Structures are given as structure tokens and as C-alpha cells.
Amino acid sequence: MDLGYFGRYAVVTGGTSGIGLATARLLLAEGAHVAICGRDEARLAAARQALGNVLALRCDVLDKVQVARFAQAVAAWCGGRLDLLVNNAGQGRVSTFADTSDDEWQQELQLKFFSQVLPTRAMLPLLLAAETPAIIAVNSLLALQPESHMVATSAARAGVQSLMKSLAREFAPRIRVNSILLGLVDSGQWQRRFAAREDKAQDRAGWYGALARNKGIPLQRLGEPEEAARAILFLGSPAASYITGASLEVSGGVSRHI
């Protein structure tokens, strides 16, 4: 199936690591022009080198001024027409209600909502100028299946699902808006948690294997970034032309709701 990306323009926020980097790589392989952003200059430089022909700019998606500057650079780069925006930048917060301060709640809600709101608002004129534009929110299964050890992330994720549904209706029929709901994907976040493991004698295979067993993942492993990226590419492509307001689970079967 031809996903129809050849010659199209795509922006991936948080494209310097994990799922964002894998998404940028697949989009380039499909013949798209790709722009990414991230906060860390060294990671941006590494991504530039790994990806080759990519527009890679420093931008914190929670900073309105930086997002406006990024959108301006993207507008000049894509000739004012953007086909795909992947709102991927972010990370999860591991904390229970007892462990989460009011400030941490504010930070988490800010991260989850405004990493969608600010890039979407800034890129909207560019998306509206494209023929068949799409937005993808990279979200988590926690939106539907909350975990008490990630209480703030879970609540915020549910809110993002609601936001996506509203945007899908408000932007129809011009822009399709969909989300992917991730389970556990082996990316920068999990690599950092592995590096910080208590039992340093445990090797990578053992640690990841135990994680998959503890989480009861039917496919018995974490997902690879590219497996999430493939779902993003499909939903964001003209091949998914009749899909909007939908969410696709990429979780190795870990979800238990119907």
C-alpha cells in the first residue's frame, strides 16, 4: 500500500529520540520532507547526523515564543503548506497521589495539554493550506486504563483524548485528527529507567523481560519505537483518509477494556 507521503511535509515534535526519531526516519524513507524539534542541542545534532536531510531546530514545545519561532521556520521551509503534524514531545511522570505536589500536578497538566495545544495552534494556518492535512497526538493507554503509580500522567492523558475528539470535530472536514495509545515502548524513557535500576547486576534482557512479565503484556515484550512509528505513519497518511477522531492502541495487547 502506498501511504502517499512522497513530497509531503511533516513536523514531528520531540523528534530527537525514541518514537519521534523513528517516525522521522520512516517518513524520510517514504519520501517525505521532515522537520523535527527538541530542547537539547546535542541530541538535535545527533539526530541531524543520523537522519541526514532533515530540518532539526531547538524548540521547547511548552514555550510559546519558541514554538512561534519554530512555526515560522517551518513555514519558510515548507512553502506555507504542512501535511502532517505529529505532537509527540513529552515524557511520563511516575508518582502516586501521595507523592505528587500541586506544582507537579501543574507541570504534568501543562506538559500533556500544551505540548498538543501550542504546536497545533502555531501550525494550524500551515495545515489549513495543505490538501489533505492530518494531526497525530502521541498519547498513552493510561488515558483509558489509569495506573495509580502514574496518577497525574493518567489523568492528563484522559484529558488529551478528550481534546483530540473535540479537535477532530472542530477541524473536520479540513484536518483529520487521530491519536495513538501506547503501552510500553522501548525508548529513551525506558532506557533511562533501566540505567537507574536498583539491581545493577540485572542485565538488559532480564530487566526488560521482567518488566514485560510484570505488566502482563500478552506479546511478552516492550514495543519498538518503529512499531509505534508505523501506526503514526498510517494514521497520518492519505491512506487513512476516512479516519478521524480515532485512536489506535499500540500496546502488545495489554489493554483489557472492550
Residues that bind ligand NDP (CB under 6 A): 13-14, 16-20, 37-40, 43, 60-62, 88-92, 138, 140, 182, 184-185, 187-189
- Any residues with CB less than 8 A from the CB of 159 and at least 6 apart, and which? 109, 112, 113
CA dist 52 and 138 (Å) reads 24
Shortest CB 256 distance to ligand NDP, Å: 17
Q: Which residue from 177, 148, 150, 175 is spatially nearest to 245, judged by alpha carbons?
A: 177
Cβ closest to ligand NDP, residue 40 vs residue 203? 40
Cβ closest to ligand NDP, residue 116 vs residue 244? 116
Shortest CB 53 distance to ligand NDP, Å: 18
Cβ closest to ligand NDP, residue 185 vs residue 235? 185
Phi, psi of 179 (to 5 degrees): -135, 160
Shortest CB 212 distance to ligand NDP, Å: 12
Instruction: Please count the other Cβ atoms lying within 10 Å of the Cβ belonging to residue 109.
Output: 15
Cβ closest to ligand NDP, residue 137 vs residue 168? 137
- Any residues with CB less than 8 A from the CB of 253 and at least 6 apart, and which? 217, 218, 219
CA dist 4 and 103 (Å) reads 44
Helices (H), the chain: 18-29, 41-51, 64-78, 102-128, 151-171, 188-195, 204-215, 225-236
Cβ closest to ligand NDP, residue 28 vs residue 129? 28
Shortest CB 84 distance to ligand NDP, Å: 16
Cβ closest to ligand NDP, residue 39 vs residue 81? 39
Cβ closest to ligand NDP, residue 175 vs residue 254? 254
Q: Which residue has the cell 495509580?
A: 148
Which cell is 105 given?
500536578
CA dist 29 and 121 (Å) reads 28
Shortest CB 115 distance to ligand NDP, Å: 6
Shortest CB 4 distance to ligand NDP, Å: 24
Shortest CB 45 distance to ligand NDP, Å: 11
Which cell is 177 given?
485528527
